[in-house]
């Protein structure tokens, strides 16, 4: 797992004007089982439909993680340094027989991107940054430590946190005859009787004490090829895939694609070159997201492929992106490509 940058919180706060609020509303899954008894169309009175105080709004799409034609399974983000969280993931892997859920650590690049697409208000419920001043000269001796406060469930266009995430995850478990799962799903169903603020108070009480009660995980979970398609690799964003048989706790080695801006090299990409859009491992900036009439909530371009049409250094590279590479059909005019611009550091040769 790759730790997120220490300047993560400060860099994303400058980009929140372009961010859309994440959804904290919960409407139950149609998955067979006790949770399927929840009526997702109920809008007022009693239970089970409950909404948090925040408005439910869509977030920008990330085809690299949620490809419209290939991959729509939700992603569970968990604290990789938390023993309780790791045990919960192992529990889900065991009982989610049909693989309805995928997983990524909050400390990973996948976790960082999904945090960045949240509104600041929602993100602050998940991530807490502690700034320690190591010297009287605070401006040059500040050390930031990130603490994660909530499990997160991300769908293609929504985000669930705290107790809503837990209930949604229980509802997503595949039908099973295991008595303990049935019991948990009935408990989850009963949870809808409680107002969200009460459920979340219980969640926060446990979350604050989980590491003192259950301890911290000093090591990442070892690779298991039985769950190869259940953990989302940072390589889908960065272009650098992990070696599944390498020591997961070994120090990260520098890779050229992580740090090299191709336009600063001896043979920079030229107009007409076929390239891929990545999000470099060392980037502290938001990934390139396009907003227009077709994508009012935004579309993250990472993972897209296309040809360079213009180079406007140092600010941007204009591309004609293949719509199919980001899971899109032809537009209303029959076009198979779309014009978009990305940062020079996000360009990698195919």
Helix (H, G, I), strand (E, B) or coil at 271: coil
- Model-level pTM? 0.75
- Phi, psi for residue 148 in degrees, rounded to 5: -100, 130
* CA distance linking residue 215 with residue 307, whole number of Å: 50
How far apart are alpha carbons 119 and 57 in whole angstroms?
Answer: 10
Buried b (16+ CB within 10 A) or exposed e, 209-225: ebbeeeeebeeebebee
d(CA 112, CA 4): 7
Q: What angle do CA 290, 157, 84 make, to 5 degrees?
A: 125
- Asked if residue 335 lies in contact with residue 316, where contact means CB atoms within 8 angstroms, the answer is no
Question: Given pLDDT bands bounded at 50, 70 and 90, which one contains residue 207?
Answer: confident
Q: What is the pLDDT of residues 90-146, one digit of tens each?
A: 888 888 878 889 999 999 999 999 999 988 888 888 987 766 655 555 444 445 566
- The pLDDT of residue 302 is 94
What's the pLDDT score for residue 55?
35
Two tokens, residue 293? 């009439």
The whole-angstrom separation of Cα 205 and Cα 122 is: 18
**Straight-line distance from the first to the last Cα atom of the chain, in angstroms, rounded to the nearest whole number:** 25
Q: How sure is the predictor about 57, in pLDDT bands with cuts at 50, 70 and 90? A: very low
Confidence (pLDDT) at 239: 85
Burial class (CB in 10 A: 0-12, 13-18, 19+), 350: exposed
pLDDT at 69: 76
- What's the pLDDT score for residue 175? 58
pLDDT of residue 38: 41
Least confident span in 84-93, 172-181, 313-322:
172-181
d(CA 256, CA 261): 9
Question: Is 42 or 72 the better-scoring residue by pLDDT?
Answer: 72
Convert the pLDDT of each residue in 298-311 to its tens digit: 999 999 999 999 99
User: What are the C-alpha distances in Å from 267 to residues 254, 261, 273, 320?
Assistant: 21, 11, 12, 21
Rounded distance between C-alpha atoms, residue 236 and residue 248, angstroms = 18
Contact 312, 39 (CB under 8 A): no
- What pLDDT does residue 16 have? 46
Query: Between 317 and 177, where is the model more confident?
Result: 317
pLDDT for 245-296, tens place per residue? 555 455 454 444 434 578 887 888 889 999 999 998 888 889 999 988 888 8
| Closest to 178 in 3D by CA, of 106, 95, 251, 246 | 95
């Amino acid at each position: 797992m790759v730790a997120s940058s220490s300047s993560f919180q400060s860099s994303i706060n400058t980009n929140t004007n372009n961010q859309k609020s994440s959804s904290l509303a919960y409407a139950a899954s149609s998955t067979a089982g006790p949770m399927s008894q929840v009526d997702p169309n109920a809008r007022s009175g009693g239970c089970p439909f409950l909404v948090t105080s925040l408005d439910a709004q869509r977030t920008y799409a990330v085809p690299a993680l949620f490809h419209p034609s290939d991959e729509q399974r939700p992603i569970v983000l968990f604290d990789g340094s938390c023993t309780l969280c790791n045990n919960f993931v192992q529990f889900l892997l065991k009982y989610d027989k049909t693989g309805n859920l995928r997983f990524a650590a909050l400390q990973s690049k996948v976790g960082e991107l999904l945090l960045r697409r949240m509104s600041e208000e929602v993100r602050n419920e998940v991530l807490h940054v502690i700034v320690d001043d190591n010297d009287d000269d605070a401006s040059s001796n500040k050390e930031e430590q990130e603490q994660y406060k909530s499990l997160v469930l991300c769908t293609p266009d929504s985000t669930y946190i705290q107790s809503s995430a837990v209930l949604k995850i229980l509802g997503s478990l595949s039908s099973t005859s295991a008595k303990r799962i049935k019991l948990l799903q009935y408990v989850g169903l009963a949870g809808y009787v409680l107002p969200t603020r009460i459920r979340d108070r219980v969640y926060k009480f446990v979350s604050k004490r989980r590491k003192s009660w259950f301890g911290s995980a000093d090591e990442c979970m070892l690779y298991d090829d039985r769950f190869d398609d259940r953990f989302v690799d940072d390589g889908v964003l960065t272009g650098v895939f992990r070696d599944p048989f390498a020591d997961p706790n070994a120090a990260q080695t520098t890779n050229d694609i992580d740090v090299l801006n191709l336009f600063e090299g001896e043979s920079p990409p030229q107009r007409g070159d076929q390239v891929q859009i990545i999000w470099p491992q060392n980037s502290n900036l938001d990934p390139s997201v396009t907003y227009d009439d077709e994508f009012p909530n935004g579309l993250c371009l990472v993972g897209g492929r296309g040809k360079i049409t213009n180079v406007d250094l140092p600010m941007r590279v204009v591309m004609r992106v293949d719509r199919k590479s980001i899971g899109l059909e032809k537009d209303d005019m029959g076009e198979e490509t779309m014009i978009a611009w990305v940062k020079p550091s996000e360009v990698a040769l195919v």
